[in-house]
Chain A
Amino acid sequence: MSAGETKGTGERMKPRRRHGAAGALIAAAAAAMAVVSIIPSTASAGRVAAGLSAPSANLPVPTTIGKGEGKLNLIAWEGYVQPEWTKPFEKQTGCQVNVKYAGTSSDMVSLMANGGGGQYDLVSASGDADLRLIYGGDVRPVNISLIPSWKQFYPFLQSPAFNTIAGKHYGVSFEFGPNILLYSTKTFKTAPTSWSVIYSGKYKGRVTVPDNPIQIADAALYLSKSQPKLGITDPYELTQPQFNAAVALLKAEHPLIKKYWDLASQEISLFQSGTTVVGAAWPYQETTLAADHAPVASTIPKEGATGWADTWMLATKAPDPNCAYKWMAYMSTPQIQAEDADSYGETPANTQACAIMDKIAKGSCAGYHANEPQSYFNTIKFWKTPLTTCDNGKNDCVPFQDWVTAWTQIIG
């Protein structure tokens, strides 16, 4: 099923309103796809049956990695293709690495349109883009047995729901990080235990959160504990009433916010100057501020936290599949995982990277939580694309497009 056919189905609907259009379009596309695809009957396929199936699911996977094609074209987050590890890779494999940096997850989806257009091989997509790429048919399954280091990954990153569907891997997990609660130790003598500190009026005008629609999931996560009556089980699968409650919470939060930060550097200067005293952040901000001896600390409150997890995904029309497999295998090794973790400021998927991280920068393994037990990682709800399909088997969840519209209304 190509994007073109999806479009054709949507057009026949002639929906009057744009918001309705989003849901109707996906539902119609799903219905059309369900007709042509065989619905698998495994347990994890319940969600697939409810909504969509991946167009590239039945493409063949290689059983061995062949000779390199001499080049490799990547779409990546800035910082993921540093010369420290790219140069040795080029030397080892003869694959010349070219990279196009993307600014946002949506940039990545656009660049990967039409299976990478026969131009790109791999994309370092985050969880909020993964399902869009998979169900858009832009990425194809990979043979995970060709990635030896994959066995050393944390179990929860080996076959996570955001990149593995019905047992098929649409890429190899890379690194991840939690969205932590950052606070000033001058204001908080003890660590706050709940996200309520950013929603209650106590720190009015001293709060900062990211300028990102996925922030709605953070609100939903908080509501899942503070208002159990809403019945939120997954912050990325929200029915309309649950979604409305999360949006209402964020609208009520708006007067408390000093600034919705767009760049990590903005939040760093907000905390450095003491303009804000509490907010949602990445571990990168905390380590940078700590290195500057700013009085800050972070915590994951009792409600848990959201987080991002990136995946190297293989383009459906990748022109250099052998170099792509070599890259995925290389980037999964403990050494490179540790180098990236320390240089970018995130947590490696490979459990063996911790010791190497400490060798590169003392204490960085603990700093980026690379040595935590599984119970810690269980508290992190990783980003995934909000779709109309829910785990409850109905198609009544709010899709990402509506998240974006709602976010504009929250901050506008």
Chain B
Amino acid sequence: MSTIREERQVVGTARVSAALWRRAWLRATLTLTPPLAWFLVIYLASLALMLVTAFWTVNPFTNVLEHSWTFANFDQLFTSVYGTVIARTVEMAAIVTLTDIVIALPFAYYMARVASARGRRLLFTAVLLPLWASYLARVYAWIVILQRGGTLSWAFQQVGLGPVNIGYTNTAMWLVYSYIWLPFMIVPVYGALERIPDSLLEASGDLGARAWRTLRTVVLPLALPGIVAGSIFTFSLTLGDFITPLLVGGASSQFIGNVIYSNLGTANNLPFAATLALVPIAIMVVYLLGARALGAFEAL
């Protein structure tokens, strides 16, 4: 009896798998539905909800959300003050990304192609170690370094360069961001450089290319996907941050994130906060399209 039942089960399973094999679309549907549903419900639905909120307003007196359709939030977005804030944020994100590329390229090249296995492990640990400490702790450490009479100023005075006061300025923010996001640039660039076959470099040399030309025409193009992947991290993380401007920034350090934060907190204007939150998303879409046009994703 039991063998017959087992046989039936086996036959049944075989029939299901055969049916799935014949109908590729069914197989794909069954495999993809759970993650797709998750993606749609959790990720896209929340974004869509935010988009919708951007067209609503808040009663300025009672703070009650009013579900009447209006473009007023977008009108307000295109006033000069928000333009300044958006430009400042994008500029900082771009400068930080460039800085991290400049630092990460030689560093990752050394890690991937020069250092011994042991040295590589050590360097990897050194790069990733700061990520284990809290973001806040690292930002506070920089406050101590940069503030008036802080470590940096003291060090400059020791070597006779006089005191430096860059605490609570945009320069301070640039330093802190470049430091905090550096691992996010080094790791993907390292990944890209490590995958370059030695033979390509040797071939380049055999064909008469000097080091600089090999770097420019062989290494850099092959490292580009890694650089772009890293830049997406550094750019988008800077774009969305509000803690560093709050703690390290000065009087003219408002970021998009800070304006969103104050609209949620002080003003309690959820619709306008939602409108502002769409700005980084739009910028990232443009950024990714630009990266694709540059051919950054061809290697993926």
Real binding pair: yes
Residues of A contacting B259 in the complex (Cβ-Cβ under 8 angstroms): 408, 412
Per the bound structure, the CA–CA distance linking A395 and B176 in Å amounts to: 48
Residues 161-175 of B contacting A (Cβ, < 8 Å): 165, 167-168
Per the bound structure, the CA–CA distance linking A211 and B63 in Å amounts to: 21
Number of B residues contacting the other chain (C-beta, 8 Å)?
A: 40
Per the bound structure, the CA–CA distance linking A329 and B73 in Å amounts to: 45
- Contacting A7 at CB < 8 Å: which of B64, B72, B81, B251? B64
B268 touches A110 (CB 8 A): yes
Q: Mark B53-94, 1 if CB is under 8 A from A, else 0.
A: 000010111111010101011011000011011000000000
Residues 251-295 of B contacting A (Cβ, < 8 Å): 251-252, 254, 259, 262, 265-269
- Given the known interface contacts A113-B64, A273-B147, the answer about A106 and B266 at a Cβ–Cβ threshold of 8 Å is yes
Q: How far is the CB of B248 from chain A (nearest CB, A)?
A: 10
29 contacts between A and B (CB under 8 A): A6-B59, A6-B64, A17-B75, A18-B70, A18-B76, A21-B72, A22-B60, A104-B265, A104-B266, A106-B63, A106-B267, A109-B62, A109-B63, A132-B62, A136-B63, A211-B262, A257-B251, A258-B168, A258-B251, A259-B168, A260-B251, A266-B247, A273-B150, A275-B165, A399-B60, A400-B60, A404-B266, A412-B81, A412-B259
Per the bound structure, the CA–CA distance linking A11 and B65 in Å amounts to: 12
Q: For B62, B84, B167, B265, which residue has the most chain A Cβ atoms within 10 angstroms?
A: B62
A110 touches B251 (CB 8 A): no
Question: Which A-chain residue is minimally distant from B254 (CB atoms)?
Answer: A412
B191 within 8 A of A: no
B250 within 8 A of A: yes
- Chain B positions within 8 Å of A, measured between CB atoms, are 57, 59-64, 66, 68, 70, 72-73, 75-76, 81-82, 84-85, 143, 147-150, 165, 167-168, 246-247, 249-252, 254, 259, 262, 265-269
Per the bound structure, the CA–CA distance linking A275 and B57 in Å amounts to: 40
Q: How far is the CB of A237 from chain B (nearest CB, A)?
A: 15
- Contacting A213 at CB < 8 Å: which of B147, B249, B251, B266? B266
Residues 199-217 of A contacting B (Cβ, < 8 Å): 211-213
Q: Other CB < 8 Å A-B pairs besides A106-B268, A412-B259, 13 of them?
A: A17-B72, A18-B76, A21-B57, A104-B268, A107-B265, A136-B63, A258-B251, A262-B246, A270-B168, A404-B262, A404-B267, A404-B269, A405-B76
Residues of A contacting B81 in the complex (Cβ-Cβ under 8 angstroms): 408-409, 412
Q: How far is the CB of A306 from chain B (nearest CB, A)?
A: 16
Residues of B contacting A60 in the complex (Cβ-Cβ under 8 angstroms): none
Residues of B contacting A107 in the complex (Cβ-Cβ under 8 angstroms): 265, 268
A25 within 8 A of B: yes
A182 within 8 A of B: no
Per the bound structure, the CA–CA distance linking A11 and B66 in Å amounts to: 9
B266 touches A212 (CB 8 A): yes
Per the bound structure, the CA–CA distance linking A273 and B262 in Å amounts to: 27
- Contacting A273 at CB < 8 Å: which of B60, B73, B82, B148? B148
- Contacting A132 at CB < 8 Å: which of B63, B73, B148, B149? B63
Residues of B contacting A104 in the complex (Cβ-Cβ under 8 angstroms): 265-266, 268
Per the bound structure, the CA–CA distance linking A401 and B254 in Å amounts to: 19
Residues 151-188 of A contacting B (Cβ, < 8 Å): none
Q: How far is the CB of B146 from chain A (nearest CB, A)?
A: 10
B265 touches A103 (CB 8 A): yes
A192 within 8 A of B: no
A411 within 8 A of B: yes
Residues of B contacting A110 in the complex (Cβ-Cβ under 8 angstroms): 63, 268
Question: Which B-chain residue is minimally distant from A401 (CB atoms)?
Answer: B60
- Contacting B59 at CB < 8 Å: which of A10, A257, A274, A404? A10
Q: How far is the CB of A203 from chain B (nearest CB, A)?
A: 13
Residues 378-412 of A contacting B (Cβ, < 8 Å): 387, 399-401, 404-405, 408-409, 411-412
Per the bound structure, the CA–CA distance linking A363 and B249 in Å amounts to: 37
Q: For B70, B72, B75, B266, which residue has the most chain A Cβ atoms within 10 angstroms?
A: B266
A278 within 8 A of B: no
Per the bound structure, the CA–CA distance linking A254 and B251 in Å amounts to: 7
Per the bound structure, the CA–CA distance linking A397 and B76 in Å amounts to: 21
Residues of A contacting B167 in the complex (Cβ-Cβ under 8 angstroms): 273, 275
B143 touches A6 (CB 8 A): no
A3 within 8 A of B: yes
